[in-house]
Amino acid sequence: MPGKTGIVLSAAIGLAVIGAGYWGPNLVRNAQATSGLRLEYLCDLDAERARRVLGGYSTVRVSDSLEEVLADPAVHAVAIATPAATHLPVAMAALEAGKHVLVEKPLAANYADGRKLVEAADSRGLKLMLDHTFCYTPAVRHLAEIIAGGELGTIQYLDSVRINLGLVQPDVDVLWDLAPHDLSIFDAILPPDIHVTEVAAHGSDPIGAGKACVAHLTLRLSHGGMAHVHANWLSPTKIRTMVIGGSAKTVVWDDLNPSQRLSIYDRGVDRSPAGELTEEKRARTIVSYRVGDMVAPALGEREALRAVMAEFAESITQDRRPLTDGHSGLRVLALLEAASESLRRGGVFVDVKQEERV
């Protein structure tokens, strides 16, 4: 593995998972199944909870002291699954100790804190990676490929629905809880020359939770297109769909349909060329409808979090930027902050801080 000098060594990367709550056990399981990683610690303030996660026969060490874990030279990297408000102090302590960092979304509680982490990692030559899990699914990787290859034509709109009877979070609203998934997917699949310029958010709190439990997010894109996200903790049914409309083709992604996650439609609406229209016809219509085939590409099934762990290990051993690096986390934070500001201001469009792609 590379140290701060980037020199590649042959030994496995010693990893500590920080946090044994909801997501930590998934990190533990996938780290143990990833070649190139050697799980050294599970660290949690509740050591007994960490022991229950590991079981009675595990050789992985348990600690309730972050300082102890970071001081151990056998630990080269950490994977953080703690509340967003703790990401800055925990991740910064790891970076200052010379450890590479994988952190659960969002990168930090706000853009300024996220910027501090990105600068700390860059200045030390360390990897800072976001666990934007959906970006590592076969469906999203395929979407990125066909959009980059021009199969869909110019992207006209993106429409995402992520609703279910979910856990009302104590520290964040529904946008900060669910929308990072969709926003990170947009960031992964949109061409590099298209970015979000403005965000408007509308939300409601029908159960009196003190925060938005149902929210709609509208994003204006730099080339004139539009994206939309519907996030909802209160729906009795679970829906995870995304529609990506292009000038040539449209894709429907149903993440809850394992037999046909992607459906690519050669159907849409075309504007009739002005030269073909008489004045009389122009008064009636300026569009034509295209009806073609639907194709459902065969996609392999794999656990996305396994691919996250593999990418983290490979970015370290190959000394390269991970696919979802700290800058991608900053782009998502910029959108979330703009959304929060829009909510406070009654749903007006708010400009988005621009984070350069590197």
Q: Give the model confidence (pLDDT) of 126-146 as tens digits.
A: 999 999 999 999 999 999 999
Are 344 and 228 members of one domain? yes
Residues 151 and 275 in one domain: yes
Task: Specify whether 141 is located in the same domain as 69.
Answer: no
Task: Identify the three-state secondary structure at position 299.
Answer: coil
pLDDT-wise least confident of 20-29, 273-282, 305-314? 273-282
As a whole number of Å, the CA-based R_g of the chain is: 22
Q: What is the pLDDT of residue 300?
A: 84
Report yes or no on 319 lying in a domain: no
Based on the domain organization, do 111 and 155 belong to the same domain? no
Q: How confident is the model at residue 5 (pLDDT cuts 50, 70, 90)?
A: very low
161 compared with 10, residue with greater pLDDT: 161
286: domain CATH number is: 3.30.360.10
| Whether pLDDT at 6 is above 50 | no
Q: What's the pTM?
A: 0.89
Residue 302 half-sphere exposure, CB side, CA atoms within 13 Å?
20
Q: What is the mean pLDDT of residues 50-65?
A: 90
- Where residue 171 falls among pLDDT bands split at 50, 70, 90? confident
Question: What is the extent of the structural domain holding 162?
Answer: 135-303+334-351
Q: Are 234 and 207 in contact (CB under 8 A)?
A: yes
**Rounded (5°) CA angle 293-295-299:** 175
Residues 70 and 141 in one domain: no
Task: Indicate the pairing of strand 100-104 with strand 77-80.
Answer: parallel
Q: Residues 92, 230: one domain?
A: no
Domains held by the chain: number = 2
Residue at a domain's end among 69, 97, 126: 126
Q: Are residues 345 and 207 in the same domain?
A: yes
Regarding whether 341 and 209 lie in a shared domain, the answer is: yes
* Domain CATH code at residue 59: 3.40.50.720
| Pair 29, 139 in one domain | no
**Residue 239 in domain:** yes
Distances (CA, A) of 301 to 81, 261, 304, 307, 309: 25, 10, 9, 11, 16
106 shares a domain with 161:
no
161 shares its domain with 285: yes
Do the domain assignments include residue 198? Answer: yes
pLDDT bracket for residue 73 (50, 70, 90): very high
